[in-house]
Structure 1
Amino acid sequence: MDEQNRKIRTVVRIGKNTYTVVGKESEQHVMEAADLVDAKIREIKSKNPYLSSTQLAVLAALNISNDYVTVKKKLEDKQNEED
């Protein structure tokens, strides 16, 4: 397999679970993403410790998606201003 198509395996810990992530991104990139998810789950859990793991995961995904959409919209607006 050539360097461009090489898959990188990264082991991350989110909450109480360990996951092996396989992809093209660097280990540092995957660890940073996993740390973001873990931090968001901890933040939500600290505000409502009675949520299930599934509820925590969905709310974390929704919060992170909201951040992504906000940043994407700002970038699009900035690009439209430059055009």
Structure 2
Amino acid sequence: MEKDNNKSRTTVRIQGQVYKVVSEEEPSHVKEVAKYINQKMDELKKKNPYLDTTKLSVLTALNLADEYLKMKREREGE
């Protein structure tokens, strides 16, 4: 982990690819997010093993956005 002002550079692996993420968040949080994304991609890949990486990424983003918006609506409705 390298520090750049208030930002940290954290290396994560998603679907076998290495990414260096620059964030103000703690490295442990960045790794947790990457792990969650990787799990979601694995779930979709098991259901659709022939998806290429681009389609898998877009479908994962759509599913995560769906989860987020549903949770946001629930929270706002309280």
TM-score over 0.5 for the alignment? Answer: yes
| Runs of 4 or more consecutive aligned structure 1 residues displaced over 4 Å after TM superposition | none
Cα deviations across residues 56-78 of structure 1 (Å, max 9, x unaligned)? 00001011111100110011001
Corresponding residue for 2:10?
10
Equivalence map 1:3-82=2 (5 Å): 5-78=5-78
User: 1:15, 1:32 → 2: CA distance?
Assistant: 15
Q: Give the structure with higher Rg (CA).
A: 1
Q: CA deviation at 1:28?
A: 1.1
Alpha-carbon distance in 2 for matches of 1:36, 1:65:
13
Length-normalised TM-score, structure 1 = 0.86
In structure 1, stretches of 5+ residues that fail to align are 79-83
Spell out, residue by residue over 1:21-63, the C-alpha distance to the aligned partner (whole angstroms, 9 max, x if none). Answer: 0010011111111111100110000111100000000001011
In structure 2, what residue type is equivalent to 1:70? K
Identity %: 45
Structure 2 unpaired stretches of 5+: none
RMSD: 0.8
Q: Which has the higher strand share?
A: 2
Question: Which SS does the other structure have where 1:18 is aligned?
Answer: strand
Pairs aligned (count) = 74
Query: Relative to total residues, which structure has the larger helix share, 1 or 2?
Result: 1
Separation of aligned partners in 2, 1:44 and 1:23: 27
